[in-house]
Amino acid sequence: MKTKPAYLIIPAIIALIATLTFMPSANLAQTLPEKVRTSMDLLKSEAAKLGAPKVEGTDTVAGKEVPAIYFGKTKINNNFDLVDDVVKQVGGTVTIFVKSGDDYVRVATNVKKDDGSRAIGTILDPKGKVIVDIRDNKAFYGEAPILGKPYITGYDPIRDSANNVIGIYYVGYLVE
């Protein structure tokens, strides 16, 4: 068997290694915006498994009386199973907001306040860019501050069976 001279094989190997090292691979890592979309799809899918979203009665969240949001028979206020399960699978942060008057209140979240506690009872910034899209019944995807820290985020309105916006799905990843 005849072998090729080393001066032909070695440059080919070097070129192959360089290509594999520096070539971006869509399969190896998602960009943050792609990860946000994937995480949002998972959150919505997991919520849908519980049942249709609805508001029924009120509940106290961090000392505030707010509407109680449900998926099927599962009350989400002060219930962290859904948000924690999604985070276990994809990382980042996850929140369910409920609409309370003109505000959107975090009723289930793993977003932490500076003291390390869950940021339940806090509201979506009423002067921020996210609320503009939500009030127009549109989703928001992009960078937004969460309690003063930059995140790549997704916010998608939660609608009841009459297509009324009753809350917001949120997923996000801290920009480091």
- Which residues, at least 6 apart from 152, have a Cβ–Cβ distance to it below 8 Å? 32, 33, 36, 142, 143, 172, 173, 175
Q: What mean pLDDT is predicted for residues 115-140?
A: 94
Token code pair at residue 140: 């928001």
Q: What mean pLDDT is predicted for residues 88-107?
A: 97
Task: Say if residue 87's pLDDT is above 60.
Answer: yes
Range of the domain at 125: 31-174
Q: What mean pLDDT is predicted for residues 70-90?
A: 97
- Whole-number Å distance between alpha carbons of 32 and 100: 30
The domain total for the chain is: 1
Q: What's the CATH number where 165 sits?
A: 3.30.450.20
- Whole-number Å distance between alpha carbons of 35 and 39: 6
Please state, as a whole number, how many other Cβ atoms lie within 10 Å of the Cβ of residue 80: 16
| More confidently predicted of 126 and 22 | 126
Confidence of residue 7 (pLDDT cuts 50, 70, 90): low
Asked whether residue 13 is domain-assigned, the answer is: no
Asked whether residue 149 is domain-assigned, the answer is: yes
Q: What mean pLDDT is predicted for residues 117-129?
A: 94
Asked whether residue 168 is domain-assigned, the answer is: yes
pLDDT at 25: 39
* Closest CA relative to residue 94, chosen from 41, 164, 166: 41
Asked whether residue 154 is domain-assigned, the answer is: yes
pLDDT at 131: 95
Token code pair at residue 77: 């206020």
Q: What mean pLDDT is predicted for residues 73-93?
A: 97
pLDDT at 2: 57
* Closest CA relative to residue 154, chosen from 16, 14, 39: 39
Task: Say if residue 28's pLDDT is above 90.
Answer: no
Please provide the average confidence, as pLDDT, over all residues in the chain.
88
3-state DSSP assignment of residue 64? strand
Asked whether residue 156 is domain-assigned, the answer is: yes
- Are 135 and 55 in contact by the 8 Å Cβ rule? The answer is no
Asked whether residue 62 is domain-assigned, the answer is: yes
Q: Is the pTM of this model over 0.75?
A: yes
pLDDT at 147: 83
Asked whether residue 18 is domain-assigned, the answer is: no
pLDDT at 22: 44
- Whole-number Å distance between alpha carbons of 32 and 172: 9
* Closest CA relative to residue 153, chosen from 28, 44, 37: 37
pLDDT at 3: 56
Which contacts (CB < 8 Å, 24+ apart) does range 65-68 have?
Answer: 66/98, 66/100, 66/105, 66/107, 67/98, 67/99, 67/100, 67/166, 68/98
Report pLDDT digits (tens) over 12-27. 555 545 444 444 433 3
Considering the chain, what percentage of its residues have pLDDT values greater than 70?
83
